Amino acid sequence: MVKAFSDFNGLEICFLICAIFGGFFVVVKLILQFMGGGVDTDAGFGGDFDADGGHVDSDVGFRLLSLHGLSAFFMMFGLVGLALYRQSEAGVILALIGALVAGMMSVWVIGKIFQGAGRLQSNGALKTTDAVGCKGTVYLTIPEGGMGRVSLNFLNRLREFDAAEKSGAKVPTGTPVQVVKVNANVLVVEVINN
């Protein structure tokens, strides 16, 4: 094995070490993710670098100095640098520039992947304020001046909510209603007259 690398000069050895180091951590992180052992390896030096000066989100999956970013950078830096210098005989300057560009591009691609994955995340919480305008039926009679329950098709889901009639009138079960307002978690409804 030593004989295979005996004709490498210092720059080629540097490229090789970077490729092996980066590739090792890429493979380890990949194996851990497939096994479900997601280890939090972010260094915490990054953040969401936003040009508009808005809120900095510390829960972004990709940070500038994460194990994903650094290992991808070193792996691509080493592989492309070694290929340019040894195989293409591009010269030291061109090999270093190509290696740096490849490393930065891999960090950028990893960042875009994590941004896309972050957009897929949802907490699944339903905001009752979004129910205004929805139509449904009274499930449990709304007594005069009291509260009953209504059944609504809310965000493509059949849901039941506590409800009161807008003017305080009694509304029997099965009456079609429409939500006009939300007070805390109680829907204020009015009867729909056909």
Where do the domains of the chain lie, and which CATH numbers do they carry?
Answer: 10-119 (no CATH), 128-191 (2.40.50.140)
d(CA 151, CA 100): 60
Q: Which residue has the higher pLDDT, 59 or 86?
A: 86
H or E stretch at 182: strand 176-183
When pLDDT is cut at 50, 70 and 90, the band that residue 4 belongs to is low
> Tokens in use for 96?
């270093």
pLDDT of residue 50: 44
pLDDT (mean) for 111-124: 76
**Chain centroid offset of residue 67 CA:** 17
pTM of the predicted structure, to 2 decimals: 0.49
Q: Which of 46-50, 152-156, 177-181 has the lowest mean pLDDT?
A: 46-50
Q: Which of 42-51, 82-91, 144-153, 184-193 has the lowest mean pLDDT?
A: 42-51
pLDDT of residue 179: 92
**Chain centroid offset of residue 50 CA:** 16
d(CA 67, CA 70): 5
Q: What angle do CA 40, 41, 43 make, to 5 degrees?
A: 120
pLDDT of residue 142: 93
